Amino acid sequence: MSPETVRVFVGCDPNDCDLEQMLVLEHSLRRHASLPVDIRWMQLSSNPDSPWYSDPARRAGWRTERWATPFSGFRWAIPAVCGYQGRAIYMDTDTIVLDDIAGLWRAPIDDGAIVLARRDKSFSRFCVSLWDCAAARAHLPAATQLRADPDAHGNCMKYFQRHPQLIGAIDPAYNNIDGEHQPIENIKILHYSDMGTQFSHAHAMPRLRAEGREHWFDGKLLPHPRRDLADLFERTYAEALAAGRKLDDYRNPTPFGAFAKKSERGHRGNRVTRPGLLARVGRFFGS
């Protein structure tokens, strides 16, 4: 693969709950990209040969029971999956790309840093991040250890909290959380992070009910406070369909089935979507 092919790893649900998000992300990413893009969907798999293999009944492969999402811990294995070579971008699936991804892909990573991520005062957000895969090898647990340890996700977050010098600061516009009082033209990647207010729910929830399924998010659904961002999602969704993309293109041919994860019945969102509540920092860890 050419070094100018942008490798983008996306964490998403393995049971077709995130189809709308996947469709919007890919359409928006490719629409603005000036470089070739290789998107790799990271989904729990029952295939032992998959890097995302998990068998909850046997407690084999990835242990997800302490994750907030079906993919929370996958991001730490990306350098290993890349053979500790080159660069790789990670994104949660609940994102809309509004700028050329080449700007992030080619961003300089300072000496001593192994990843670019958004740094906010006392913590960092890795929900959009750029990895130097070779440099990360000395600091991340082996993939086998990541998979076997249900606390690996939280432990990696804590490790980087203790070693902030490993994190280069990303332009916050590449991980804009739910608008943050910024006009759309100032946003490069919109992360509609509050799981209770995600725009895709308006489509996914009725679709899943019609299919006799349930969404993995079990918290309370609320309207998003930014109507303009909701309209942006709807426009991008309609454009993707008009361009020939179909939800069925994103269906998992072998849905994973039941898996363990934390309940989000008490999900408190963030300070942008719910300014009346003090959103806990820990909620960003699982986004």
pLDDT digits (tens, 9 = 90+) for 4-48: 899 999 999 999 999 999 999 999 999 999 999 999 999 999 999
pLDDT band at 244 (very low <50, low <70, confident <90, very high): very high
Contact between 52 and 62 (Cβ < 8 Å): yes
Interval 53-79 mean pLDDT: 97
In 3D space, the residue among 110, 62, 118, 54 whose CA is nearest the CA of residue 91 turns out to be: 118
Q: What is the pLDDT of residue 141?
A: 97
Q: What is the pLDDT of residue 280?
A: 43
**268: three-class secondary structure by DSSP:** coil
Q: Could you tell me where the beta strands, DSSP code E, fall in 135-274?
A: 167-169, 176-177, 189-191
Run of H or E including 250: none
Q: What is the architecture, at CATH level 2, of domain 6-285?
A: Alpha-Beta Complex (3.90)
What are the sequence ranges of the domains in the chain?
6-285
Q: Which residue has the higher pLDDT, 230 or 121?
A: 230
pLDDT digits (tens, 9 = 90+) for 147-170: 999 999 999 999 999 999 999 999
Mean pLDDT of the chain: 94
Interval 267-283 mean pLDDT: 71
- Residue 141: what residue type? P
Q: Please spell the DSSP secondary structure of 203-226, one letter per residue.
A: HHHHHHHHTT---S--S-----S-
pLDDT band at 283 (very low <50, low <70, confident <90, very high): very low
Pairing of strands 6-11, 37-42: parallel
Distance of alpha carbon 170 from alpha carbon 147, whole angstroms = 27
Q: Could you tell me where the beta strands, DSSP code E, fall in 76-183?
A: 87-92, 95-97, 115-120, 123-132, 167-169, 176-177
Contact between 107 and 167 (Cβ < 8 Å): no
Query: Could you tell me which residues come within 8 angstroms of residue 130 by beta carbon, excluding any fewer than 6 positions away?
Result: 87, 88, 89, 90, 104, 105, 107, 109, 115, 116, 117, 170
Of the chain, the percentage scoring pLDDT greater than 70 comes to: 95
**134: three-class secondary structure by DSSP:** helix
Interval 58-75 mean pLDDT: 96
In 3D space, the residue among 246, 135, 116 whose CA is nearest the CA of residue 189 turns out to be: 116
